[in-house]
Each structure stands twice: as structure tokens, then as C-alpha cells.
Structure 1
Amino acid sequence: MKTRQATPSAGLDPADLKSALDDVHRAGVPGVFAEVRDGDRIWHGASGVADVTTGRPVRADLRHRVGSVTKSFTAAAVLQQVERGRIGLDAPIGDHLPDLVPGERGRRITVRMLLNNTSGIPDYLPHAFPSLRGFPSLPDVSTESLDDNRFRTFRPAELIAMGLTAPPTGEPGGPTGVYSNTNWLILGELLAEVTGMPAEECVTRNVIERAGLRHTGFPAGPHVEGPHSLLYESFYGLIEPPRDYSVYDMSWVGTGAALVSTMADLNRFYALLLDGGIVAPSSLVEMQRTIPVRALDGSMIEYGLGLHRVDTGRGTFWGHDGTVWGAGTMSLTRADGGRQMSVAVNLARWNRPDSSGRPQPHPIDAAMKALYGRAMG
């Protein structure tokens, strides 16, 4: 591991951080919890409830569905196999999975393009959840699919086929990317092909266990094991009051977004990853080569190989955000490792639409932005 010079920080102010959490709760999130690290100092905090019916308080150490934060774990597992010579980062995916990604696409799309979302393969989600297909035009959608799929077990190949048969979002390897969960299920199948074990087992053995994470794993069924919050989905006001989706078959996202973790484990993971404890320095360089990528909400992000880059007045941070039904997570670590934050909320898609059906800003947005700002120092 390398030794890095830490950026000067404002330090940890527990009262200020707790106040920021409370503001998020008061703005409308039932429960919010976080871990912030500054050098050797660690702060844990929580505000609100884990269950709106019983009033059970939320705690900082709860396990949580962390959504697309999973992609950083999957990317690290892929880069490890690149280091071992089993995968070529710029090799066509068709070399490994000719039946899954056949023909010209298999010859043109490389492993790197899957990792940085420049494959041009669209997301399968509108097809797996057909009642959501009109989004973001909310008058044209319903949330019926969310309930229809609660206990449905998808096969990765089934979801990948949905993405591959939809119109491409662009040419492979273009200068900008379009975020797509389909890429990440293909990468899971790639891991299974080259290691001879299920992708989830590969990530568990080579990334989760290597990092010493004791509260992180892929769910074995629809339930979150261990202490956790209920997870309330609003879907832009279409579900009112928000409904609990904490019990859900996560095969719909698999190696793209199914992980359960804690905020402490996420901070430990990213600290080790950025310090060379999970992949080699040369692999980390590749992971941090970013391009502009259009996220699912339409915003543009700087995206590498399973890592977001976020530039702030306090330096450059690396990490990932994630959301699944009812849950949101943000985990960011400053490039020098000196400052970290991981934040979880048990409410998702709280923005209400205007008369045209477009989601509008909500007080929660400003409160979350303020919390992130204080947590990043």
C-alpha cells in the first residue's frame, strides 16, 4: 500500500454532523444514518426511524441495501482477473461470451466499455418493469411492476437479453457513455466464465473477504439478514404513503446493485481500494480514468471503471452512489484517503412531479446536499 499526503481538513464536528442528519429527517426522510472518517477519527450518527409504524429508531450500524455501490465491488473483481491474465481489459466481450453477446456487438464491445458504460447497450430495467417504461413522463407510468416482481427470480441471461434486443444508446466506445445495468450483469457472467464459480461467490471471496468486511454480502433470499431498516419507496409520489420494499428478490440487479452492507464496511472498502489493498496500483489507475456518462436520472457524471469522481472545494473524492426500491446510499472517499463519508437513507424517489409530470426539487434535496458538504469536510 502507498503512503499519501493528506489534504487539510476541517475535522469532525459531531454536533454539526448530527444537526445535518436531523435536517434530512425533518425534510421528510424517515431515517438517515452515516459514518464519517477524518484521519483516525470516526463519527457515527443516525436520525429518525427505521419503522414508521412502530417508531423503532434508526441506528448507524444497520445493514442496508446499497444498490449500485455494488458496481465498485464487481469492477474490482474484474480488474483482479485482468491482473491474473484471465481477462483482457480491451479484449472483445465476444471472446469470452460469444453466445451471450454474439455477432458484431460481441466483436466491437470490450470489457472496458462494459465497465465504463460506453458499450451502447441500453438498460434492461424498462423491460423488466414494463409499467415504468414511460418514465420520466410520470403520467404514463404506474408502479404495478414493482409489486409484480417482488418475489420474481430473474436469470441474468434473461435480463441481458432484454437490454441487447432494445435499440442501442450509441456506438461502442463513444466519447460519452450511458449508464446501463445490463453492462454489469454481463460482467457478472464474465466473472463466472473465467473463474468457474458464480459471480457473487467470486466477488465475495476476492473482494469482500479480502477487505475483511464482516457485514457485507449478497442476499440469499428476499430478506435483509441482520438488523436493518424498512425501506420506503415513493416513486415520485405515485406511492403515497411510501410503501416498504425491504423484502424483495434482488435478482433484478444481481452483480450490478444487490449488495447489502453497512456504512462502516463501505468506508473500509473504499479506503482499502484507493490505497492499493484490493487491486494493484496499475488497475486503480485504469479504474480512475473517467469519461462523461449520462446517469439514469439524466444528469452527467464523471465515471471510471466502477468509480465516480466528485470534485469539491475539499478535493477530489471517489466512490459510488446507489439506489434500489426504498433505499439510497452515497459513499465517497477523498483521493488521499484522509476523509470518508457513507450515508444511507430509507426513502427513495421523494421528488413530486409538476403539471407536466417532471419531478421537481424537494426540501430533502437541499438537506442531503448540505449533509454531504459537511460530511466531506
Structure 2
Amino acid sequence: MLPGFWARRLVVLVLGTATLGFLAASPPSQAAPATATTTSTGTADRLRQLADYVVDAGAPGVVVARRDGDHVTRVARGVADLRTGRAAGPGDRYRVGSNTKTMTAVVVLQLVAEGRLGLDDKVVRYLPGLGLDPRMTVRHVLQQTSGLHTDTMVLTPPRTVESVRFEYFTPRQLVRLALTNPKPRPVPGTHWEYSNTNYVIAGMLIEQVTHHPAQVELARRIFRPLGLHDTYFPVASPFVRGRHLHGYLSAGDGTPPVDITTYGMSWLRTAGAVVSTTRDELTFLHALFTGRLLPKAQLAQMTDTGEFGYGLGLFPLRLPCVPGGVVWGHDGAVFGYQSGVFSTPDGSRQAALGASTWLFTDDGELDPLPVQAAAAALCDGSPNPAEVAPPRRAAAGVTPAR
């Protein structure tokens, strides 16, 4: 979600502000990694190995799952709550971050299939008065080529993480914040840049066309029809409902991690607000790639990356262990959580992983390990996340996980 600079700056703000009301979690006296599995012992062993990679790298808790047809295997490792020592469970919820973008893109493409919206329609036709480039199209927004920069200006001084933690942002406020970015904006369609603002605008388009809140359309079109009972879009509440992984941030200097689970999601909205589980994530992607959510024409558009390496809310990863060598999905990173969910193109197999912290590389970028581990869960044999090529945006000079 955030370029490495902003991600690292966020950790400094969270851990370095004396007035923070966050709970610094101390590891319990008996916090040995726990394991919980359902079904398929052989697959569970492989998933456990992948989860251990991520736990050993510093994540307090990890949930990972794979779906083969109608057969689901789920594993949990580590602890869900460092204060109480509660073991992570395979059904624990977590904030999925930018995996939300795939869901948002599906709703927009459903509206396209219904003839209520066109991918090449100008955005200003539906959203006038925002100051957007009149050349910007719906396709540009979904493919991250609109020329808009991300709205991480919400963290620009004098704002701090604590001051915006429970602040409520409207979509129009977020767009205005993005437009205050002093960087020159390229002509729409000529440059690719990952931007949460694009998917805030996608949510605004959904609301303008349907006359319903975006979260209502997500529930009506995706959550309820697919039986995603553990998935929801928080509007105002900062809390994660039910059993869940607590999210943590750490400075990486040996100090106790900070529990940052509770915060508002109005700053991300349809770019990253959804809470879900690995099972529900698998169900969603299986439905997408087996034709339950979109006609073939719209799914083909969703996976058309053109020259940019990013489709419409999906991106490909090279994975030699699967037929064709490519899988499709998305990753997510919001405060205290990293995740990924991927599918084979034919919909025969999906994998999802959620981790309860941000991991960093030595150069300060978000570590793609959780994303690579999620994709590697699609492999048989002894999976090695390092063999999975990181998302293309790592080479583009922005964070390899969002």
C-alpha cells in the first residue's frame, strides 16, 4: 500500500511518539509457535513449512491456506495475541489490505458487463468537480495509469499516525489530498504508478452508478452470494470483529512490538479496508477464475496487463511449479498486516496467506516474503518462497508488497 519510505516513516511515527495509546505487547512466558490445521496432512505439512518461513522472519502469527477444487487445507502458526499468548487459529480474521482492490475491480467490471459503465468512459462524466484530468478513464483508474499519486499525504506533518488513527476521511478528502502532491502528474495512460487514490475513485464510481454505498454493493454482489460469512467492509468501527490476528509493528531493534490492530479504515476505503479470512479469500478467487463473478470478456480484460505488468485489480506472478508458469492475484499491506492471495488461471487451485506484522528488507522496503510464500503455497513438493519472483512493482521502485 505504501512506498518503502512511507512504510518505514510510519513505523518511526508509531514507535517513536510518546503520547501513543497503543499497547506495547510483551511476549507471554509460553509463546511457542502453535499449529492448527484442517484436512490434507501432506498439503498441511507444506503450508506449515511456508508459515514457518514467515514466522521465523518475524511475524508473530501467520495463517495460510490452499484450495484444490472443493478441498481446502488451512494452517496457522505462531500466536494471534502476544499479550495473552492465544495461538493463531486457521479461521482467524485479518485485514487483507489491497486484496480489497480485486473485489472493487470486480464490482466495477460487473457494472461494465451490465452496460452501466464503460471502461473507456471518462471519469469526469461521473465524478465532475474533483479537479481530475478530463482524459482519465475508468480503465486508467483500475490499471493504475491515471497519473494520480497515492493519498499517503494523510501522513504529511503535522499529521501523525496517532492523530489520524481514528480520523474520518471522506472519499473526496482523499482525492483532494492526492491532488496536493507536488510531484508532476503524467498524462493518463502513459505511466504506471501504484496509487490507493485510484481505487478510492473506483469506489466513488460504484456509488455514483448504483446510488448505494460501495460496501453495500460489495456485500450484495460478492460477500453474500459467495457465502463469505467472515468477510466484511468496516465503515466506521476501528475494531476487527470476532477471532482475529492482532496486527503489530516493530522497529526491528529488539524493542517490543506495538499492537496496532485497532484503527479506522476510512483512509483506504475501497482501496484496502476489507477484513477477511484465508478460506473466504480462497472462495472469492476461486469464484472469480471459474466464471461465477464475471463474464469471460470482463475476466479477460481484468487479466490484460498491456505494457504495464498490472491488470485491472490483478497482477501475474511467475511460478514455474504450476502449468503455464504464471498465477494471478494481489497482495495487501495495511498497518500491522501483510497478505497475499493467488490462483491458477484455470481456477483449479488457490492459496492465501495473512501475517500479523510488516517485515522489512535491509534497505527499508517492505519484504515480499509473505507474498512470495502465499504464491509458493500453490506448489507441491518442498516450497521455497525465495524461488517466487516478487511482484513487478519491486522493479518499479515502489514497495513490492501492499
User: Shorter-chain-normalised TM-score: which range?
Assistant: 0.7 to 0.9
2:40 pairs with 1:24: no
1:219-368 aligned at under 5 Å gives the runs 219-220=234-235, 221-234=237-250, 237=252, 240-291=255-306, 293=308, 302-313=309-320, 314=322, 315-348=325-358, 350-351=359-360, 358-359=363-364
Query: In the alignment, is the contact (CA less than 8 A) between 1:12 and 1:41 conserved in 2?
Result: no
1:199 pairs with 214, 221, 227, which one?
A: 214
What letter is aligned with 2:227?
G
Rounded Cα–Cα distance in structure 2 between residues aligned with 1:114 and 1:205? 23
Q: TM-score, normalised by structure 1?
A: 0.83
2:78 pairs with 1:48: yes
Rounded Cα–Cα distance in structure 1 between residues aligned with 2:295 and 2:370? 37
SS across alignment from 1:13: helix
Using the TM superposition, give the Cα deviation of residue 54 of structure 1 relative to its aligned residue in structure 2, in angstroms: 1.5
Query: In the alignment, is the contact (CA less than 8 A) between 1:339 and 1:376 conserved in 2?
Result: no
1:113-262 aligned at under 5 Å gives the runs 113-125=140-152, 127-131=153-157, 145-166=160-181, 167-174=183-190, 176-220=191-235, 221-234=237-250, 237=252, 240-262=255-277
2:113 pairs with 1:87: no
Query: In the alignment, is the contact (CA less than 8 A) between 1:327 and 1:344 conserved in 2?
Result: yes
Deviations 1:75-133 (A, max 9, x none): 0110111112211110110111111245xx1x2000000000000000111x101159x
Over 3 Å counting, the alpha-carbon distance change for 1:36 and 1:247 in structure 2 is same
Count of matched residue pairs: 335
Counterpart in the other structure of 2:376: 373
Query: In the alignment, is the contact (CA less than 8 A) between 1:169 and 1:178 conserved in 2?
Result: no
Q: TM-score, normalised by structure 2?
A: 0.78
Counterpart in the other structure of 1:112: 139
Query: In the alignment, is the contact (CA less than 8 A) between 1:272 and 1:278 conserved in 2?
Result: yes
What letter is aligned with 2:156?
P
Query: In the alignment, is the contact (CA less than 8 A) between 1:340 and 1:376 conserved in 2?
Result: no
Query: In the alignment, is the contact (CA less than 8 A) between 1:21 and 1:371 conserved in 2?
Result: no
Over 3 Å counting, the alpha-carbon distance change for 1:361 and 1:318 in structure 2 is closer
Any gaps of 5 or more consecutive residues in structure 1?
1-10, 133-143, 294-301
Query: In the alignment, is the contact (CA less than 8 A) between 2:341 and 2:375 conserved in 1?
Result: no
Give percent identity, aligned residues only.
Answer: 36
SS across alignment from 1:33: strand
Over 3 Å counting, the alpha-carbon distance change for 1:371 and 1:83 in structure 2 is closer
Using the TM superposition, give the Cα deviation of residue 283 of structure 1 relative to its aligned residue in structure 2, in angstroms: 0.6
Deviations 1:249-302 (A, max 9, x none): 000100100000110001000111111111111110110111455xxxxxxxx2
Using the TM superposition, give the Cα deviation of residue 177 of structure 1 relative to its aligned residue in structure 2, in angstroms: 0.7
Rounded Cα–Cα distance in structure 2 between residues aligned with 1:121 and 1:376? 37
Query: In the alignment, is the contact (CA less than 8 A) between 2:55 and 2:78 conserved in 1?
Result: yes
Q: Which runs of 4+ in 1 moved over 6 A?
A: none
Superposition RMSD on alpha carbons, in Å?
2.3
Using the TM superposition, give the Cα deviation of residue 217 of structure 1 relative to its aligned residue in structure 2, in angstroms: 0.9
Over 3 Å counting, the alpha-carbon distance change for 1:366 and 1:181 in structure 2 is closer
SS across alignment from 1:347: coil
Rounded Cα–Cα distance in structure 1 between residues aligned with 2:353 and 2:62? 7
What letter is aligned with 1:305?
L
SS across alignment from 2:52: helix
SS across alignment from 2:116: coil
What letter is aligned with 2:211?
G
Over 3 Å counting, the alpha-carbon distance change for 1:239 and 1:253 in structure 2 is farther
Any gaps of 5 or more consecutive residues in structure 2?
1-40, 381-402
Rounded Cα–Cα distance in structure 1 between residues aligned with 2:57 and 2:213? 42
What letter is aligned with 2:334?
V
